[in-house]
Amino acid sequence: MKNWQKQVPPYEGADAYVYFAFADGDVGRVWPIMRTLLRRGVRVWYCTGPAGSAEELLHRQERSRGAALTLLYLTDAAVADKDSKSRILVNQNRGQSILCLDPDGVDRRLSMGLREDVPHLALQSCRSAEDLEDALIRAEGFTQELFGEPTAVEQDKLLGRLSLGISLLAAALLLLAFAGYRHFGWFRPNYADEITIRDEVILDAARQAAGGGALTGEKAAQIRSLRLDELPESWEELALLPALERIELPQQALLDGETLPEGDYVIELSGGAS
């Protein structure tokens, strides 16, 4: 995130905190690490740019020395940053815990003037944000006293609001679609007000299957199975029942002039079409 320092001020309280040291040129690269620390509730103090006054310089020295842990983002730019290097070496001489973060596989501890036994974390081994979080929080120097209340940065708040807005919009659209379907006929087929079937056998069977009353187009579209007590003469009228899948014939039926043995007979229709 660009200009994240405006949204994340350095911690100035009295509880235990981390001094996060990095070069000004690495401000953009350290944001994923800073965000991870804030989300886990780690209190972080940092400084960027040259000190504007002797009072500010003194304040930086006091805050860096008062940290429970120095977290160093170790790059060539950090090695060349004389102010940060001086504060870090002072902390090393005072016995303060230091953890080096190596972003590119190059070990610069000796170039920084640090001892070889200073803990060193290779960020290249972290393949995801979860890996990075686990590696940081479990690294040497991170003690329970460093953790407080999680801090939500503005970008996280914006994403949260955006996610909530999308959810509310989706719910509203779903409700509107349902209301439109129920009351305004949106997204529904235009059924005929009434289906005209002249064959009394088919008409009676269709009314029974549809629950009685007038045989409307919507009711006709719901009929999938039809039981015929007699063989109809107008089979073509079955085409008015678009969802019809099977016809149940009586026990004794006459087809092509032949009497069939008693039993139940079912005509299965292909794809719901007669």
The tens digit of pLDDT for each residue in 20-60 reads 999 999 998 999 899 999 988 999 999 988 888 999 999 99
More confident site: 120 or 164: 120
Q: Give the separation between CA 23 and CA 272, rounded to whole angstroms.
A: 73
Which range in 93-107, 127-141, 205-219 is most confidently predicted, on average pLDDT? Answer: 93-107
Identity of the amino acid at 121? L
Asked if 132 and 211 sit in the same domain, the reply is no
Domain hosting 211: range is 200-272
Q: Which of 158, 180, 209 is the last residue of a domain?
A: 158
Q: Which element (helix H / strand E) includes 72? A: strand 69-73
Asked if 252 and 120 sit in the same domain, the reply is no
CATH number at residue 84: 3.40.50.450
Q: Give the separation between CA 147 and CA 153, rounded to whole angstroms.
A: 16
The phi-psi region of residue 228 (left if phi > 0; otherwise alpha if psi is between -120 and 50; otherwise beta) is beta
Q: Which of 128, 158, 188 is the last residue of a domain?
A: 158
More confident site: 91 or 260: 91
Mean pLDDT across the stretch 144-163?
68
Q: Is the pLDDT of residue 116 over 70?
A: yes
Asked if 75 and 151 sit in the same domain, the reply is yes
Asked if 219 and 118 sit in the same domain, the reply is no
Q: Which of 124, 158, 192 is the last residue of a domain?
A: 158
Residue 184 resides in a domain: no
Mean pLDDT across the stretch 117-136?
86
Task: Assess contact for 18 and 42: CB atoms under 8 A.
Answer: yes
Q: Is the pLDDT of residue 115 over 90?
A: yes
The long-range contacts involving 236-239, CB below 8 angstroms and separated by at least 24 positions, are: 236/274, 237/197, 237/198, 237/199, 237/202, 238/202, 238/274, 239/273, 239/274
Residue 164 resides in a domain: no
Mean pLDDT across the stretch 138-167?
71
Count of domains in the chain?
Answer: 2
Taking the whole predicted model, whether its pTM rises above 0.85 is answered as no
Q: Give the separation between CA 36 and CA 128, rounded to whole angstroms.
A: 12
Mean pLDDT across the stretch 182-204?
76
Average pLDDT, the chain: 82
Q: Is the pLDDT of residue 272 over 50?
A: no
Tell me the C-alpha to C-alpha distance, in Å, between residue 100 and each of 71, 88, 153, 174, 274: 6, 11, 25, 51, 77
